[in-house]
Amino acid sequence: MSLTPAELTSAVSGGIGSSPQRPDGNLKVRGEFAYASDLWHEDMIWGATLRSPHPYARIVSIDLTEALQVPGVYAVLTHQDVPGQNRYGLEHKDQPVLAEEVVRYQGEPVALVGADHPETAQRAMKRIKVEYEVLTPVVDMETAADDTPLHPGGNLVRHVPVRRGDQHAEAEVVVTGRYEVGMQDQAFLGPESGLAVPDEEGGVDLYIATQWLHVDQAQVAAALGLPLEQVRLTLSGVGGAFGGREDLSMQVHACLLALHTGKPTKMVYNREESFYGHVHRHPAVLYYEHGADHTGRLVYVKARIYLDGGAYASSTGAVVANAATLGVGPYDVDNVTVDCWGVYTNNPPCGAMRGFGAVQAGFAYESQMDKLAEALGMDPVDLRIVNAMSEGSVMPTGQVIDSAAPVAQLLKLVKDKPMPPLSTVVDLRDMPGGVSNTTHGEGVVRGVGYAVGIKNICFSEGYDDYSTARVRLQVINGEPAALAHTAAAEVGQGLVTIMQQIVRTELGVERVTILPMDTSIGNGGSTSASRQTYVTGGAVKAACAAVREKLAKLAASRDLSAVDIAGTDLTGVDLAELLGDEVIDETVEWRHRATEPIDPETGQGNAHVQYGFAAHRAVVDVDVELGLVKVVELDCAQDVGKALNPQAVLGQIQGGSAQGLGLAVMEEIQTAGGKVRNPSFTDYLIPTVLDMPPMSIDVLELADPHAPYGVRGVGEPPTISSTPAIVAAIRAATGLALTRVPVRPEHITGT
Amino acid sequence: MIPFDYRLAPDVDGAVAAATGWGGVAFLAGGTNLVDHMKLGVAAPEVLVDISRLPLDAVEELPDGGLRIGATVRNSDLAAHPAVRRDYPVLARALLSGASGQVRNLATTGGNLLQRTRCAYFQDLSTPCNKREPGTGCSAIGGYTRQHAILGASAHCVATHPSDMAVAMAALDAQVTVLGTSGRRVIPLVELHRLPGDEPHRDTVLSPSDLITAVELPPLPEGTRSLYRKVRDRASYAFALVSVAAVLRVEDGVVRDVRIALGGVAHKPWRARRAEDVLRGSPVDGSPADEEVFRRAAEAELAGAAPLAGNGFKVPLARNTVVSALRGLSREER
Ligand SMILES: Cc1cc2nc3c(=O)[nH]c(=O)nc-3n(C[C@H](O)[C@H](O)[C@H](O)COP(=O)(O)OP(=O)(O)OC[C@H]3O[C@@H](n4cnc5c(N)ncnc54)[C@H](O)[C@@H]3O)c2cc1C
Ligand code: SF4
């Protein structure tokens, strides 16, 4: 009774495979969309967070006296005011809601102020006296495990070994390298914000910009010491996420203030606070050794990967597993020895960010592939194709790839694209350095680089990953109308549109309303791991199927059984007539096929649900004299299984590639001694329109038979291969080794 | 934010009068730097004297061919002014390479000159900083110094001046007109900003009630070329790692006049007199042999460079940028 893509013959427009207008699109472009920072409530107060200025310190005393005396202050709270468990975390509950005896990172919340105006709150906050005994921070990820323990049990969050084949394999050609990846920020534009409204019975409603309502709800309820039903969350307008909203920021804080004062409480971070208020991408140090025979076939890959998790675990464990299991890239390798460690330090906490461990490994293994090609005197694309995995390949974890893995095809697609012409007219916007007239074309060298990457889609390692969808069908004003409800967060990626498209296709109903996302329905899972179209899309599709079954029964009872509703399509069925006054309302919990935990000693196991692949070709112009890089063109080929919304697919590929460009040449949170030195958009640089080149994109649609409609997650793969392709191009232009990203002018000009 | 008095200056003399006699006073022009600092708590003036509506917003062409730029002329307007684009391309380009269109629409001539360093520690109240709080120490030394000075720094401060416009003006021998409590005076732009020495809290030679009223640019002789080159981490909207403003006049294959200023390398726009000395009178004919002269000039200037742990790259980068700018100028057609 499920439809395969080929059978889809929906009569209504705006179904899957088309790119209907997003309901939020016009509003956003016109600046009328209500983001969480626009939330407002009569009589609300404002919360502010006092944060630690030190990366590591003992709290000797906290004196609130003066802060409480500031007129307009309603409450000043510390860890003593946390009624429930003063610990939260995605994988380990190791992070205090408000610090107790120690602070472990600069920016750690210590106290909260609730006041009648944000300025009053700020003023009172400055009157809180905290005496710290400053301790020496642990900041080196490679030695952290043996350094001062920052948590009971020491500083190793997780070690994942992967062992496959001969551990002592030898090869004719061997290349080794040490690579570094700087700390990247999600840099979403809408800062953290939320509004907590207390109810009459001691519970609270929280309106919040988040990625995952239910995991927030569970953590907030535990910290407040309330049963789940007394903590209700509703998604508010989210201005981007990229992983940075998977952990709690002010969720508990706003609720604490609201419950304490009995007043609706709003909190909004400013840009600087936002840099302290969310996790970042793990910086990494990666040691690799690749061995190959003279034809280029990989004999073995060995890797030691260190990921800096910062002060609290967040999702470090899962990031470690990703970097380890995806650590050799989309290649067939029989003999693999990978070790990946995630550690605690006093650097900013790191967790989820688009690409999730696969980005760091991707930069290293693709750099190695280029190095190997050079050692072999081979073309770097040919070398990759010789080793490219394909359907039926076995991962280093022993997992067999059981759907399309068109790695070689993706590489050929980007390689065969026409080259951008060498510019003859000097348009300064096209020159390294851009409009500041920095380069006049002299000393500019062109380079071309390629990369391909692999990413797991959906949650892995045996996690019970599901989503819940409710679909309601009834006649409104004489027309059939559908309504869909989930708790899956729309963060800007276009999930709302996708859900509408699926309902249109499945039920043949044009009018589809998506209810606000909230916790009154079951878990929708996280908007991460490129999983929502797959999992929540799957749930909506399944709920539609349940609705159709009800329709079929209705038809039978009305003696309209001649119409086979469940089997084919709804063309020709007069739904309004069939439904009459009936309301069909179905809720379904939908799971993708199960995964397994990996063996802790060998890393073996069917850890992942699905794999996504993308390849990039980057063309750069480098002013070698001034160290300036202009990415002239960044082309991509990606398999998306099925493009439910082709425009959204292109948007994801462009955005992901841009984020990869940022990591390649500019984005890095600079830390010194555990302190962030550039917490602003003036100092933390993300690509502007002048830095991002045009893209030519090829989208393959090789359906995955295990996934709804054959979809394959889209959001993350382009982020992985974009970075190494650009760096490879800069290497090709300059002949430099460039083992660290971001590559900055000084890496090109030397010191 | 801390409470402060706000006064709208009635006229130019009134602005100075309103600012006189206060400990903490600041003129408010475009506010793009000052207001940020007030929000951060880096600046906490008791009195703000708003000069944004004073009639100092004109660009006048002077009879001798020079230009007088009012202190409240917006950076965007100045960059677009026909006389600037025609006669002082170095200035137009420096302005356009700074900040963003939105910021330039607000930013003024006076405010741009007096904008404060982007040293991360200066803006972070939780760290010691001699410039923000004299005597507390310098956190940058031994810390994160990628953006910091390689020339003219002291053991008390290693900050750089962030302005692009000021670097161009330094190369143009601009003169700054200042109205103070004791009347009007004219200060060469290259003497407006100070080196940090043991008083890094003083960016300039001005006192708090000194009002900049105008900047004058002397005329450039026929045949003079000028340009601005800025090296930064992305194509727009980023401060300079290193920048070079260069003014060059070559006659009969010999350098007759050359003026070079460097940005991003010192506490002030750095006039490269040593490089100029090497170049003046040297043969330059657009041939590859020029490179050698340009390089010697740059190296002469940078011989005194004292890079810090995190900014050694600025020395070769500054050298290359000087060479590249001079090469560009000596070959420029037009
Ligand atoms: C995001 C961002 C990016 C930027 N990027 C760059 C860049 O790349 N390059 C660059 O050069 N600049 C850059 N800037 C800085 C910008 O150029 C300055 O903020 C601007 O020029 C300051 O001018 P203003 O009129 O707004 O000054 P204000 O903020 O009003 O004043 C600055 C200071 O000057 C004093 N002052 C102002 N006018 C006078 C006067 N007439 N007499 C005496 N004192 C006066 C004020 O009291 C204050 O102390 C950037 C700024 C921002 C916010
Ligand atoms: S370099 Fe100057 S501005 Fe920066 S911390 Fe040191 S004293 Fe302060």
Q: What's the pLDDT tens digit per position in B127-158?
A: 999 999 999 999 999 999 999 999 999 999 99
Distance from CA of B310 to the nearest CA of A (A): 10
Please report the pLDDT score of residue A115 as a whole number: 98
Rounded CA-CA distance A524/A487 in Å is 5
DSSP A11: S
Residue nearest to atom 3 of ligand 1 (CA): B99
pLDDT greater than 90 at residue A560 = no
Please report the pLDDT score of residue B3 as a whole number: 86
Rounded average pLDDT over B300-324: 97
pLDDT greater than 50 at residue A22 = yes
- B5 Cα to the center of ligand 2, angstroms: 28
Q: Roughly how many angstroms between the first and final C-alpha of chain B, as a whole number?
A: 52
Q: What's the pLDDT tens digit per position in A574-595?
A: 899 999 999 999 999 999 999 9
Q: What's the pLDDT tens digit per position in A677-723?
A: 999 999 999 999 999 999 999 999 999 999 999 999 999 999 999 99
Rounded average pLDDT over B108-132: 96
* Residue finishing a domain among A591, A608, A625: A591
Long-range residue pairs from A141-145, CB within 8 A, at least 24 positions apart, any chain: A141/A283, A141/A284, A141/A285, A141/A306, A141/A307, A141/A308, A141/A343, A141/A345, A141/A347, A142/A285, A142/A306, A144/A308, A144/A343, A144/A344, A144/A345, A145/A341, A145/A343
**A557 shares its domain with A676:** no
Rounded CA-CA distance A500/A523 in Å is 19
Instruction: Note whether residue A163 is domain-resident.
Output: no
**A418 shares its domain with A396:** yes
Please state, for a pLDDT cut of 70, what percent of chain B lies above it: 99
Between positions 103 and 122 of A, the ones with CB within 8 A of B are: 119, 122
Instruction: Note whether residue A619 is domain-resident.
Output: yes
Rounded average pLDDT over A103-126: 97
Please report the pLDDT score of residue A424 as a whole number: 60
Give the full edge-to-edge strand order of the sheet including B25-28.
B5-8, B47-50, B25-28
At A710, list the tokens: 């054959």
Rounded average pLDDT over B194-219: 97
Q: CA–CA distance from A45 to each of A71, A120, B72 (Å)?
A: 13, 10, 40
Rounded CA-CA distance A156/A144 in Å is 8
* Residue finishing a domain among A591, A624, A645: A591
Please report the pLDDT score of residue A422 as a whole number: 79
Rounded average pLDDT over B14-42: 94
* Closest partner CB to A438 (pick from B230, B312, B327): B230
Identity at A56, one-letter amino acid code: Y
CATH code where residue A69 lies? 3.90.1170.50
User: Across the strands, what pairs with A481?
Assistant: A474, A511
Chain Cα centroid distance, residue B245: 10
Contact call for residues A128 and A326 (beta carbons, < 8 A): no
* Residue finishing a domain among A591, A623, A645: A591
At A282, list the tokens: 């793990």
Nearest atom in ligand 1 to B165's CA: 11
At A9, list the tokens: 């013959």
Max distance between CA atoms of chain B, in angstroms, equals: 62
User: Across the strands, what pairs with B120?
Assistant: none
Q: Chain B: residue nearest A51 by CA?
A: B126
* Closest partner CB to B234 (pick from A627, A691, A749): A691
Ligand 1 pocket, A682 CB below 6 A?
Answer: yes
Size of interface A-B (CB pairs under 8 A): 103
**A652 shares its domain with A581:** no
Identity at A565, one-letter amino acid code: I
Give the full edge-to-edge strand order of the sheet including A444-457.
A444-457, A610-623, A628-639, A697-700
pLDDT greater than 90 at residue A626 = yes
Please report the pLDDT score of residue A1 as a whole number: 32
Helices (H), chain B: 12-19, 34-40, 75-80, 82-87, 89-96, 101-106, 109-114, 165-171, 189-192, 273-279, 290-302, 314-331
Rounded CA-CA distance A315/A243 in Å is 10
Contact call for residues B300 and B274 (beta carbons, < 8 A): yes
Residues of A in contact with B228 (CB under 8 A): 436-437
Residues of B in contact with A690 (CB under 8 A): 234-236
pLDDT greater than 90 at residue A430 = no
Phi, psi of B296 (to 5 degrees): -65, -40
pLDDT greater than 80 at residue A11 = no
Host domain of residue A705: 284-460+598-749
- B32 Cα to the center of ligand 1, angstroms: 6
B303 touches chain A (CB under 8 A): no
Instruction: Note whether residue A440 is domain-resident.
Output: yes
Rounded CA-CA distance B97/A391 in Å is 51
**A418 shares its domain with A497:** no
Instruction: Note whether residue A147 is domain-resident.
Output: no
Q: Do A672 and B144 touch (CB under 8 A)?
A: yes
Please, what is the Cα angle at A692 between A690 and A693, to 5 degrees? 100
Beta strands in A355-464, from DSSP E residues, in sequence order: 444-457
B306 burial via Cβ count (<10 Å: 0-12, 13-18, 19+)? exposed
Between positions 405 and 464 of A, the ones with CB within 8 A of B are: 429, 433-440, 442-443
Please report the pLDDT score of residue A573 as a whole number: 77
**A493 shares its domain with A456:** no
Sorted by sequence, the CB contacts under 8 Å of residue A126 that are 6+ apart come out as: none
**A543 shares its domain with A416:** no
Instruction: Note whether residue A184 is domain-resident.
Output: no
Rounded CA-CA distance A539/A589 in Å is 6
Q: Do A436 and B228 touch (CB under 8 A)?
A: yes
User: Across the strands, what pairs with A488?
Assistant: A212
Rounded CA-CA distance A590/B213 in Å is 71
Helices (H), A446-581: 495-507, 532-557, 575-579
| Cα torsion A290, A296, A300, A306: sign | positive
* Closest partner CB to B316 (pick from A119, A685, A749): A749
Please report the pLDDT score of residue A421 as a whole number: 85
Instruction: Note whether residue A19 is domain-resident.
Output: yes
Residues of A in contact with B328 (CB under 8 A): 440, 442
- A554 Cα to the center of ligand 1, angstroms: 72
Band of the pLDDT at A94, cuts 50, 70, 90?
Answer: very high
Rounded average pLDDT over A82-104: 97
Contact call for residues A552 and A494 (beta carbons, < 8 A): no
- A380 Cα to the center of ligand 1, angstroms: 49
Band of the pLDDT at B22, cuts 50, 70, 90?
Answer: confident
**What H or E segment, with its residue span, contains residue A322?**
helix A316-325
Q: CA–CA distance from A410 to each of A358, B4, B68, B300 (Å)?
A: 18, 62, 60, 53
Q: What's the pLDDT tens digit per position in A648-686?
A: 999 999 999 999 999 999 999 999 999 999 999 999 999
Rounded CA-CA distance A116/A59 in Å is 28
Closest CA to A607 of A388, A451, A457: A457
**A642 shares its domain with A521:** no
**A621 shares its domain with A677:** yes
CATH code where residue A396 lies? 3.30.365.10
**A291 shares its domain with A423:** yes
**A456 shares its domain with A579:** no
Question: Helix A358-376 crosses helix A380-387 at what angle (to 10 degrees)?
Answer: 110
Band of the pLDDT at B286, cuts 50, 70, 90?
Answer: confident
Instruction: Note whether residue A186 is domain-resident.
Output: no
**What H or E segment, with its residue span, contains residue A471?**
strand A466-476
Chain-wide mean pLDDT for chain B? Answer: 95
**A23 shares its domain with A41:** no
Sorted by sequence, the CB contacts under 8 Å of residue A552 that are 6+ apart come out as: A561, A564, A565, A566
**A516 shares its domain with A429:** no
Distance from CA of B61 to the nearest CA of A (A): 26
Band of the pLDDT at B288, cuts 50, 70, 90?
Answer: confident
Chain-wide mean pLDDT for chain A? Answer: 94
Percent helix, strand, coil in chain B, to 5, is 30, 20, 50
Which ligand is closest to the CA of B196, given by its number? Answer: 2
Sorted by sequence, the CB contacts under 8 Å of residue A566 that are 6+ apart come out as: A1, A545, A548, A549, A551, A552
Domain count across chain A: 3
Sorted by sequence, the CB contacts under 8 Å of residue A745 that are 6+ apart come out as: A626, A627, A628, B231, B233, B241, B313, B317
Report the relative pairing of strands A511-514 and A628-639 from DSSP bridges: unpaired
Instruction: Note whether residue A182 is domain-resident.
Output: no
